[in-house]
Amino acid sequence: VQLVESGGGLVQAGGSLRLSCAASGRTFSSYVMGWFRQAPGKERLFVAGIMWSGGVTWYADSVKGRFTISRDNAKNTVYLQMNSLKPEDTAVYYCSTKQNPYDIRQPDRYDYWGQGTQVTDSS
């Protein structure tokens, strides 16, 4: 499975961005798609997750109500709509995939990762 993120950039506090993650290859083996983020010098943290089938979603408390994860099965693409951005949202954002619905908040449980896309507060 290959994952390619896009959509990152500079944004002022309070602004919005939409990240995309295009999946290719053996995507039928993917069960959950997740977004994680990693700030400099910090660990990689769960942001949001979605099941390819059925669309069940999960969110970190820090982004609940501001971020929305969605998927387009026909395009094999997952999105992360980020609204009301805060300076603390600055990080490299990664999408990832795993083959089961367990431990979806643990990055070491994911099988494939994209290269990441940078989101930076420009305030």
Residue 33 CA from chain centroid, whole number = 8
> Residue 36 is which amino acid?
F
Cα–Cα dist 23/78, whole Å: 8
> Residue 122 is which amino acid?
S
Model pLDDT, residue 85: 96
- 71-76 contacts at long range (C-beta below 8 A, 24 or more positions apart): 71/33, 75/22, 76/22, 76/23, 76/24, 76/27
User: In the chain, which stretches have pLDDT less than 70?
Assistant: 28-29
* Cβ-based neighbour number of residue 52 at 10 Å: 18
Model pLDDT, residue 29: 60
Model pLDDT, residue 54: 76
69 forms beta bridges with 80
Q: How does pLDDT run across 32-51, given as a tens digit for each residue?
A: 999 999 999 999 999 999 99
DSSP run (H or E) holding 117: strand 117-121
Model pLDDT, residue 28: 65
Backbone angles phi, psi at 27, to 5 degrees: -70, -20
